[in-house]
Structure formats: structure tokens, C-alpha cells
């Protein structure tokens, strides 16, 4: 196996405010040969009756991933670059613990194969220096992959945060959310 050339200066940022609901990310994600035409990103309306606002959800790649913690088969691992891998298919028992535990609702149980699948940040692309498919095609910059320095130059009025507060639990992630300038965390009631 060729050693990964993961560029650690490249980071993933998402800004749902910019999402236009076009689904280019989903369709591009599904093209990945390891996904079998299943997208590992979802785009949904928040409430179409009142707004065209859509949001996309990718794996946030938690620093201390709940999905891995609850996995009885140790099928989910985080690698040295902080990427939380999709379940190792030879270990996954299809128990859905990860599906229930993830605070962002990311892992999916694929009924056909009885296995969990989720985003692994396009490891086949990012490990050879390319950008993930979804963030490459996203036409509005709602999904963006690059250096923090470039991002700060491009979006001087926004701040990336990676701390999410769910009740009493604080979750830190590899993927960042764009928030108004000066924000430090996102509190989810």
C-alpha cells in the first residue's frame, strides 16, 4: 500500500447558510466506487412549507467519536490524521449502535449488506492530495476544503468553529462549521 499523502493543512469547513439545495454533493459522493452509488452526505429541507433552506450533513469526524466508542466490534477507527473511518466491513456486525449514538445522525445502516457505512472524507482522494468530491463540486461554498489561511482571506466575516454543545455534552470535531465572526461554539438545545 502506498503511504498516504494526507495534507494536514487542508481542512474541511461547512456553512449550511450557503446551501442552495442543489444536491450536487450527494450525486458526486455517490460516484465514488466504494459507495456503490449510495451518497454518504445528505441534503434535506429544514421546513419547505416556510423556506427553501436546506442543510447538508457529512460526517464531522469527531475528535472522540461516539460511533467508535459504542461499537462492540471495534470496527470504527480514527486514523493518525483524525479521519474517522467507515466501519471495517470484516468486523461490522450491523448492530446500529453507531447509528443511534452519533450526535449528528451520520452513520447509516445499509440494510442490503447489513453493514454500517459513512463518510470517510473521501480517503481515496484526500490521502493522495485531492479534495473530497462533495467539497470540490459544491457550487456555493457550503462545503469547502482547503487551508485555514485561504479560508480566512476569502471569508473575513465568518469564523470557523468546531465545538458543539449538546445539552451537557461537548463534542469537538475535525470538520468546522462557519459561524458569524467572533463565535466560539455552537450550542444545540
Partner 1 sequence: MARPPVSEERLAADFGPHLNYAPPEGVPGREEPDDIVETHCCFCGMQCGIKLLVKENRVVGFEPWEEFPFNEGRLCPKGVQRYLQDNHPDRLTRPLEGRAGEGFVPVGWEHALDRTVREIRRIQEQYGRQAFGMLSGVSLTNEKSYLVGKFARVALQTPNLDYNGRLCMVSAGAGNKKAFGMDRACNPWSDMTHAEVIMICGANVSETFPTLTHWVWTGRDNGAKLIVVDPRLTPIARTADLHLAIRPGRDSALYSAILRELIVHDWLDHDFIAQHTSGFEAASEAVQDYTLEWAETVTGIPASKIAQAAEWWGAAKTSFLCHARGIEHQTKGVENVSACINLVLATGRIGRPYCGYGTITGQGNGQGGREHGHKTDQLPGNRDIENPEDRRFIADIWGIPEPELPHSGYTAYELLEAIHRGEIKGLLSICFNPVVSLPNNNMVREALDKLEFYACIDFFLSETARHADIVLAGSLQEEEDGTVTTAEGRVVRIRAAVRPPGEARRDTAILLELARRLGAGDKFAYETSEDIFNELRRASRGSRADYFGITYEKVEKNMGIFWPCPDLDHPGTPRLWEDHQFRTPDQRAHFVPVKYHDPGEVTDDEFDVILTTGRVVSQYLSGTQTRRIGRLVDQYPEPLLELHPALARRKKIAERELVRVVTRRGSAIFPAQIVETIREDTVFIPYHWPGKKSVNMLTSGHLDPVSKIPEFKVSACRLEPTGQQAPPPSETQAWQAT
**Binding residues vs partner 1 (CB under 8 A):** 17-18, 20-24, 26-28, 30-31, 33, 36-37, 48-54, 131, 133, 136-141, 154-158
CB of 7 to partner 1, least distance (A): 15
Residues recorded for the chain: 189
- Beta carbons of 159 and 181 less than 8 angstroms apart: yes
User: Within 78-147, where are the H helices?
Assistant: 97-101, 123-126, 133-137
Least distance (Å) from partner 1 to the CB of residue 22? 5
Tell me whether residue 102 or residue 178 sits nearer to partner 1 (CB atom): 178
Q: Which is nearer to partner 1, 65 or 118 (CB)?
A: 118
Which CB atom, from 72 or from 180, has the smaller least distance to partner 1?
180
Shortest Å, Cβ 2 to partner 1: 16
Choice between 24 and 77, CB closer to partner 1: 24
Neighbour-count burial for 150-187, b at 16+ CB within 10 Å, e otherwise:
ebeeebeebbbbbbbeeeeeebebbbbbbbeeeeeeee
Q: Considering the complex, what minimum distance in angstroms separates the CB of residue 181 from partner 1? A: 11
Which one, 131 or 174, has the nearer CB to partner 1?
131
Among the listed residues 59, 60, 70, the one whose alpha carbon sits nearest the alpha carbon of residue 101: 70
Q: How far is the CB of 169 from partner 1 (least distance, A)?
A: 31
Cβ pair 180, 158 in contact under 8 A: yes
CB distance 66 to 102 below 8 Å: yes
Amino acid at each position: 500500500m502506498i503511504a498516504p499523502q494526507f495534507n494536514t493543512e487542508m481542512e474541511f469547513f461547512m456553512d449550511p447558510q450557503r446551501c442552495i439545495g442543489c444536491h450536487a454533493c450527494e450525486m458526486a459522493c455517490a460516484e465514488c466506487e466504494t459507495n456503490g452509488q449510495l451518497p454518504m452526505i445528505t441534503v434535506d429541507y429544514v421546513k419547505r412549507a416556510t423556506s427553501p433552506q436546506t442543510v447538508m450533513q457529512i460526517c464531522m469526524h469527531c475528535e472522540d467519536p461516539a460511533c467508535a466508542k459504542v461499537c462492540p466490534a471495534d470496527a470504527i477507527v480514527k486514523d493518525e490524521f483524525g479521519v474517522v473511518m467507515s466501519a471495517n466491513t470484516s468486523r461490522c456486525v450491523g448492530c446500529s449502535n453507531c447509528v443511534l449514538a452519533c450526535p449528528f445522525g451520520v452513520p447509516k445502516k445499509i440494510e442490503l449488506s447489513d453493514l454500517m457505512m459513512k463518510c470517510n472524507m473521501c480517503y481515496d482522494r484526500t490521502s493522495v492530495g485531492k479534495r473530497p468530491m462533495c467539497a470540490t463540486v459544491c457550487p456555493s461554498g457550503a462545503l469547502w476544503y482547503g487551508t485555514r489561511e485561504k479560508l480566512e482571506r476569502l471569508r473575513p466575516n465568518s469564523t470557523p468553529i468546531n465545538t458543539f454543545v449538546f445539552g451537557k455534552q461537548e463534542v469537538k470535531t475535525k470538520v468546522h462549521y462557519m459561524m458569524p465572526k467572533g463565535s466560539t461554539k455552537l450550542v444545540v438545545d
